[in-house]
Amino acid sequence: MQFIVKRDILLKSLNYVQGVVEKKNTLPILSNVLLQLKNSKLSIIATDLDIIFYDEISQVKILKEGSTTTSAAILYDILRKIPSNSELNFELKSENKLSLKSDNADFNLLCLPTDNFPTFADEFEGEEISLNNSRFLKLLNKTKISISNDDTRHYLNGIFLHLTEAHGRNFLTGVATDSHRLSSSSLELENISDFTSLILPKKTVFQMCSLLAETSDQLTIQTSDNKIKFTLGNMKLISKVIDGKFPDYKKVVPTTNDKALIVSSKDFVNSIERVASVSFDRKEGVKLVINNDNVQLSVNSANSGEGNEKIKAKFNSDTLTISFNSKYLVEIASEVEDKNLKINLKDSASPVLIEDVSDKNSYYVIMPMKI
């Protein structure tokens, strides 16, 4: 096995690999990246047994075909420190030694044979769906903030992707909840007849966000009973899905909240962050006293003091006092595209519906706190 490739091209692929491989693993092979030379292409493959990532590099000079695996983290770290546009010369000297030369630098990397490297069957019966890259990224970004970290309810540790229909139009909808808040975002689909509902694991969500943010290639997805495949140009990511039933989230979405608060998104976020600065615990509750033309925000910490601020607002009801987890409010408000937040309330104890006026296909629900 011997090949020559540009440093920047290989580094870009290895950057994506870092989010897949496990740094501390009982199986050493899972910390490695598979390098495979075949059919005039260099294939880069990494897996943690739940996700497998493939990339193909055609801008490579192959002197001898073959394959090996070596530490993904070490190879990535070396390449980061080699000057940009450098030429990399790789040669497999023996079953357990890979030579890397670039200018005056010379490395011998330990390898493991490819025999034990796990692979997934790339067989998907589901219909191939083409999606707009940036719109799907927006869906993931808007919903991932509400993914639960509670492993005892594993079915909440991801985004529920499913088909919905509204006004005669079909949508791919993503929903996530940690039982304290809920995020939902949809993108319209054309010519879609079938999609198997699934729960996309948190790690896969974040890995896809990284890939989508870096490329404008057309995105296609395919599903099977327990896996999903994303294809982006020369890259493929296959992931297991969470085995579980997502709760009927529509039951918690308020439909009778008729008290509307409209406030500047930017002013609201900045004000919360200022008053919450008095507390080291960012989960500390922020109290809102909502009046016709302003909102009074306050945080009172028994350990460090209190902060108060008043900002302009419009409210179509009598004064209402309600409290929220400040971190949750900031994260939701930061995802809203419109310059104003529309917060629909019922009373001080009921779930609140937050709308994005500039994105009618997204909304958020947040539970109040007792403080």
Per-residue pLDDT of the chain (371 residues; tens, 9 = 90+): 999 999 999 999 999 999 999 877 778 899 999 999 999 999 999 999 999 999 999 999 999 999 999 999 999 999 999 999 999 999 999 999 999 999 989 999 999 999 989 987 777 877 888 999 999 999 999 999 999 999 999 999 999 999 999 888 899 999 999 999 999 999 998 877 678 899 999 999 999 999 999 888 889 999 988 899 999 999 999 999 999 999 999 999 999 999 999 999 999 999 999 999 998 776 679 999 999 999 999 998 888 889 999 999 999 999 999 999 999 999 999 999 999 999 999 999 999 999 999 999 999 999 999 87
User: How far apart are the C-alpha atoms of 93 and 329, rounded to whole Å?
Assistant: 56
Architecture of domain 129-248 in this structure:
Roll (3.10)
d(CA 85, CA 106): 17
What residues does each domain of the chain span? 2-116, 129-248, 253-366
Sequence-separated (6 or more) residues with CB below 8 Å from residue 291 = 313, 315, 319
- pLDDT at position 127 is 80
Q: Which fold has domain 253-366?
A: DNA Polymerase III; Chain A, domain 2 (3.10.150)
Collapse the DSSP code of 158 into the 3-class scheme (helix H, G, I; strand E, B; otherwise coil) and give the result.
Answer: strand
- pTM over 0.85? The answer is yes
Longest dimension (CA), the chain: 78
Q: Which of 305, 250, 276 is nearest to 369 (CA)?
A: 276
CA distance 364 to 140: 14
CA–chain centroid gap for 157, Å, is 12
Distance (Å, rounded) from C-alpha 323 to C-alpha 295? Answer: 12
pLDDT in tens, 89-137: 999 999 999 999 999 899 999 999 999 899 877 778 778 889 999 999 9
CATH placement of domain 2-116: 3.10.150.10
Q: What is the dihedral of CA 302, 303, 309, 314, to 10 degrees?
A: -50
Phi/psi of residue 207, nearest 5 degrees: -65, -40
Q: Helical H runs in the chain?
A: 7-17, 72-81, 133-144, 202-214, 265-275, 326-335
Per-residue burial over 83-119, b if 16 or more Cβ lie within 10 Å, else e, is eeeeebbbbbeeeeebebebeeeeeebebbebeebee
Pairing relation of β-strands 169-177 and 181-189?
A: antiparallel
- Would you state the pLDDT for residue 225? 80
**SS3 label, residue 277:** helix
Q: Are 102 and 88 in contact (CB under 8 A)?
A: yes
According to the model, what pLDDT value does residue 193 have?
66
Query: What is the strand order of the sheet 285-290 is part of?
Result: 305-312, 294-301, 285-290, 320-325
Same fold, 2-116 and 253-366: yes
